[in-house]
Copies of this chain bind each other. A is one copy, B any other.
Amino acid sequence: MLAERLRALSHPVRLKVLMRIAGRERCPCGDIVREMPKAQSTVSQHLKVLVEAGLLECAPEGQRTHYHINREAIAALRTEMDVLFAAVMSDTEQEKS
């Protein structure tokens, strides 16, 4: 559901996490923790939320887990948002004085 994905994006830390991961392939959790004034468990939780929303994917590799953007999900979200924006911005036609 759209609301679910928007919820995943509706926290400043998660937005920042997403941006940190963007532009990298295979970004491990530790990298993000190091760049953020949050406990490791907190970051891990936020990552989980993003993964569960489908916006991130993770790949356990050796002792670490690499996260990366799920571009398909992002593209789908963009489409949904476009539909929403179009609907909400649509002209009423009954407002001509």
Contact = CB atoms under 8 A, between A and B. Distances in A.
* SS of A interface (majority): helix
Contacts of A69: 88-89
Interface in A11-63: 11-12, 14-15, 18-19, 22-25
8 pairs of A and B residues whose beta carbons are closest in the complex: A7-B10, A6-B10, A22-B88, A3-B12, A10-B10, A6-B9, A78-B85, A25-B95
Interface residues of A, number: 33
A19 B81 contact: no
Contacts of A71: 89
Contacts of A24: 92
A2 B22 contact: no
28 contacts: A3-B9, A3-B10, A3-B15, A4-B10, A6-B7, A6-B9, A7-B7, A7-B10, A9-B10, A10-B10, A15-B84, A19-B84, A19-B87, A19-B88, A22-B87, A22-B88, A22-B89, A23-B92, A25-B92, A69-B88, A69-B89, A71-B89, A74-B85, A74-B88, A74-B89, A75-B89, A78-B81, A78-B85
